[in-house]
Amino acid sequence: MDPYAALRFKEFNIFLLVRFAMVFAWSMQFIVIEWQVYSMTKDPLSLGIIGLMEVIPAVSMALFAGHIVDQTEKRNLLVKCIFGFSVISFGLFMLSWPSLDQKVDTGTILYGIYFLVFLGGIVRSFLGPTIFSLIALIVPKKIYPNAATWSSTTWQLASVLGPALAGFSISWIGVHWSMCLIFGFSVMALIALFQISKKPILNPKIGEPVFQSLREGLRFVFSTKAVFGALTLDMIAVLFGGAVALLPIFAQDILNVGSEGFGVLRAAPAVGAALTMLGSTRFPYIRMQGRNCCSPYSVLVSV
């Protein structure tokens, strides 16, 4: 198959630009928030609260978000998600204003950040399924595997560059203008998205009650061992991989490497994932995928 097959579709190229800008902005924003909050509080618990504020809405809304995405036109829904992210980014930009801490107490600013992160968790629960659904409507079915590869590559690239640039931008232009840069990327993604036309809703179960849809989805997951096993493995990996949230402590108080070192530390897992992805294209796991993904080598690479 032509390795550039998906790139021959103009809308897919625009989609890659949108996805890169969003992943780049989101990963950069989370790094800047972690750095700012820990710099304000010097309390490791504050970093845990940031993660909690995002994961609670993301997990609680995940099932309902999937149902809503299935019932809604994907392009417009993605527009709403990116617009919501832009509003949150602008709010964080305002809360990081250098002179604000002289007029508003630190606690109020901190609670404002937590609230915006909470709203970001809601947006994120819709953003993921909307993006994956939109890919299938942009390219023909036979091109989808190639499109998925390019989409994953774009995600990995943005995941590497976002944290790295966040660390350097904090040092170069400060937290406030780093937030402005993030807001600019979100606006760029929003403008580019309007170059993609609206897509038809192909779901044959339009109007299906939400709880009936949820029951069918859960029944499918628990009755399909491969899907259930993959979801469980991913959940455990993400749970124990959350230790990266402590990296601001290591960067500021243990290693003393500053914001630049923090950005490099935060980008390192994504670099490892990208190298592993490239290696798997040369040496693919053809047999015993479950054993291979849980091998000591794989665990070492993921760490």
Measured CA to CA, the distance from residue 150 to residue 135 in angstroms comes to 11
Token representation of residue 119:
């709203």
Q: What's the pLDDT tens digit per position in 211-245?
A: 676 777 778 777 888 777 777 777 776 666 667 77
* Count of CB atoms situated within 10 Å of the CB of 261: 17
Render pLDDT for 25-54 as a digit per residue (tens, 0 to 9): 998 998 899 889 988 888 888 888 888 888
Q: 15 vs 207, which has greater pLDDT?
A: 15
Q: What is the pLDDT of residue 292?
A: 57
pLDDT in tens, 138-179: 988 888 888 888 888 888 888 888 888 888 888 888 889 999
Instruction: Give the whole-angstrom CA distance, residue 18 versus residue 190.
Output: 8
- With a CB cutoff of 8 Å and minimum separation 6, the contacts of 156 are 270, 273, 274, 277
pLDDT in tens, 77-129: 999 999 999 999 999 999 988 887 778 888 888 999 999 999 999 998 898 88
Question: Which range, of 174-188, 212-226, 251-265, averages the lowest pLDDT?
Answer: 212-226
**Alpha carbon distance 288, 294 (integer Å):** 10
Q: What is the CATH number of domain 6-302?
A: 1.20.1250.20
**Among 302, 240, 243, 235, which residue's Cα sits nearest to residue 34?**
243
Structure tokens at 168: 């350097």
pLDDT (0 to 100) of residue 301: 41
For residue 114, give every residue at least 6 positions away whose Cβ sits within 8 Å of its Cβ, in sequence order, or none. 49, 50, 53
What is the pTM for the complete model shown?
0.81
The predicted structure's pLDDT at residue 277: 66
In which band, very low, low, confident or very high, does the pLDDT at 65 lie, cut at 50, 70 and 90?
confident
